[in-house]
Structure 1
Amino acid sequence: MEGLYCSEAPACSEGPLAPEDSKMLEDERVLNNLLQLQPFTIPSQNYFKHIQHDVQPFMRKVVTKWMLEVCEEQGCEEQVFAVAVNFVDRFLCVCVVQRSQLQLLAAVCLLLASKLRQCQPLAVKLLSCYTDFSVSQQEIKAWELLVISKLGWDLSPITAFDFVDHLICRVPCLSRHPADIRKFATGFLAQAITEPEFMMMEPAALAVASIASAVQPSIPMHEWNAALTTMAAAVNLDPIALHPIIPQIEMVVERDAMVLPTVPYQSHEPLTPTNKQQAPEPMDIFDGNKTPTEVTDIHF
Structure 2
Amino acid sequence: MELLCVEGGPRVPRAERDPQLLGDRRVLQNLLSQEERYSPRVSYFHCVQKEIKPFMRKMLAFWMLEDCEVLVLEKLKWDLVSVIANDFLAHILYRLPLPTDKVELVKKHAQTFIALCATDYTFAMYPPSMIATGSIGAAIHGLSVSANSFSGEALTELLASITGTEVDCLKACQEQIEAALAESLKQASQSQQEYSSRKTPDYPASQNGSMTSTPTDVTDVNL
Verify same fold: TM over 0.5. Answer: yes
Q: Distance in 2 between matches of 1:177 and 1:109?
A: 30
1:24-43 equivalences in 2 (<5 Å): 24-43=21-40
1:162 and 2:159 equivalent? no
User: What amino acid is the match of 1:212?
Assistant: G
Maintained 8 Å contact 1:192/1:249:
yes
Q: Distance in 2 between matches of 1:8 and 1:61?
A: 38
Q: Letter of the aligned partner of 2:48 in structure 1?
A: I
- CA offsets per residue over residues 165-224 of structure 1, 9 Å max, x none? 111121213656211111111111111122112224211111111111111131469613
Q: Provide the residue aligned with 2:172 in structure 1.
A: 244
Does structure 2 conserve the Cα–Cα contact (< 8 Å) formed by 1:67 and 1:110?
no
Task: Name the CA distance, whole Å, in 2 between partners of 1:227 and 1:174.
Answer: 14
Any idea what SS the aligned residue of 1:259 has?
A: helix
Cα distance change of structure 1 residues 199 and 8 upon mapping to structure 2, 3 Å threshold: farther
Match of 2:188 among 259, 273, 283: 259
Preserved CA contact (<8 Å) 2:102 2:145: no
Q: 1:194 aligns with which of 119, 123, 135?
A: 119
CA contact (8 A) 1:38 1:159 kept: yes
Deviation at 1:7, TM superposition (A): 3.8
Letter in 2 for 1:259: A
How much has 1:48 moved relative to structure 2? 2.0
2: distance between equivalents of 1:225 and 1:176? 23
Work out whether residues 38 and 158 of structure 1, in 8 Å CA contact, stay in contact via their aligned partners in 2.
Answer: yes
Deviations 1:119-161 (A, max 9, x none): xxxxxxxxxxxxxxxxxxxxxx7xx47xx4xxxx6x2111111
Q: Is the 8 A contact 2:5 2:16 kept in 1?
A: no
Residue 111 in structure 1 maps to residue 87 in structure 2: no
Q: Distance in 2 between matches of 1:183 and 1:160?
A: 13
AA at the equivalent of 1:35: L
Contact 1:208 / 1:228 at 8 angstroms: preserved in 2? no
Amino acid at match of 1:161: N
Question: Do the aligned partners of residues 173 and 223 (structure 1) sit closer, same or farther apart at CA in structure 2, a change above 3 Å counting?
Answer: farther
Q: Note the residue ranges of structure 1 that are not aligned, 5 or more in a row.
A: 72-106, 116-140, 263-300
From 129, 136, 147, the equivalent of 1:204 is 129
What TM-score results when the alignment is normalised by the length of structure 1? 0.54
Structure 2 residue runs of 5 or longer lacking an equivalent are 193-223
Q: Distance in 2 between matches of 1:158 and 1:19?
A: 21
Give the TM-score of the pair, scaled to structure 2.
0.70
Cα–Cα, structure 1 residues 44 and 67, in superposed 2: closer, same or farther, change >3 Å? closer
Match of 1:226 in 2: 154
**Counterpart-to-counterpart distance in 2, 1:254 and 1:247:** 11
Alpha-carbon RMSD: 3.0
User: Residue 18 of structure 1 corresponds to which residue in structure 2?
Assistant: 15
